[in-house]
Amino acid sequence: MNLRSRIGLLRSVAMYYWKPFNKRRLKRFYSQFIKPGDLCFDIGAHLGNRTDAWLALGAKVIAVEPQPHCLEFMHRKFRNAADVTIVPNAVADKQGKVTLHISHATPTISTISDKAWRDQINSDAWYDVKWEEEISVQAITLDDMISQYGLPVFCKIDVENYEAQVLRGLSQPLPALSFEYYPPAINNALECFDILEQLATYEYNYSFGESQKLQSRRWLNPDEMLKILKGFSLHKHYGDVYAYRCGTP
């Protein structure tokens, strides 16, 4: 591991594990979706801070992450955890090889997305973001995962503007899930919304950044959420959309 990779990994550890009471906040937030014994998918697990919180809630977790240094970290961290399976793949709309663009100094934005999205990230950043390495990784689909592990009660998708591609590999509705949005590339989130609505009827909510707080006091219908999603392009908040299938117990 070179110096830039060490710095990048340390930055991620500080961001996700060194914040006081962060795990407690994550547990409190996700307890509204996850109960003991539930199966959960962590797509884009990075260093596994969500996986860690879900395990503490009693869940069984399938954590998917293609970055080699992140995988090494998670294998060390969860070496004694019986209820986590770490999968070293990307998730896409179909099986096959995909190119992962790795940013060693900022591994949170390593991505399979195209150059247009990477250029957008650079234009918004106050520093020059570099993706110094490209590796070929095997992609699987959500349908593949469901076939192998079962239907998850909750699925988190955070894959740097590749969320819609992930959802295209799904042919059945999930009970509950989240996907990341990024306002300058809001069309990705709008496409996620369209894919979900073709599968089932959902109620929606959303959060800003790492707040672990739902912004709406009530769950929103599709038209209300769509209006909010389109409004996101007017500001710079990033965050997650939460979808809860109507009729889910």
Domain residue extents for the chain: 3-245
pLDDT of residue 95: 98
Q: What's the pLDDT score for residue 161?
A: 92
The pLDDT value given to residue 236: 67
Spell out the alpha helix ranges (H) of the chain.
Answer: 3-17, 22-30, 49-56, 68-77, 115-124, 142-149, 163-168, 186-199, 222-231
CA atoms of 191 and 24, how far apart (whole Å)? 33
Angstrom distance (rounded) from CA 21 to CA 247: 33
d(CA 161, CA 180): 8
Q: Is there a contact between 85 and 65 (Cβ–Cβ < 8 Å)?
A: no
Report the pLDDT value the prediction gives residue 4, as an integer from 0 to 100: 73
Q: Say what angle helices 68-77 and 3-17 make with each other, to 10 degrees.
A: 50
Homologous superfamily of 3-245: Vaccinia Virus protein VP39 (3.40.50.150)
> What per-residue confidence (pLDDT) applies to 156?
99
Tell me, what's the pLDDT at 235? 66
Dist CA 182 CA 213 (whole Å): 17
In tens digits, what is the pLDDT along the chain, a chain of 249 residues? 777 777 888 888 888 898 888 999 999 999 999 999 999 999 999 999 999 999 999 999 999 999 999 999 999 999 999 999 999 999 999 999 999 999 988 899 899 988 887 877 777 766 778 888 999 999 999 999 999 999 999 999 999 999 999 999 999 999 999 999 988 888 899 999 999 999 999 999 999 999 999 999 999 998 999 898 888 776 667 899 999 998 776
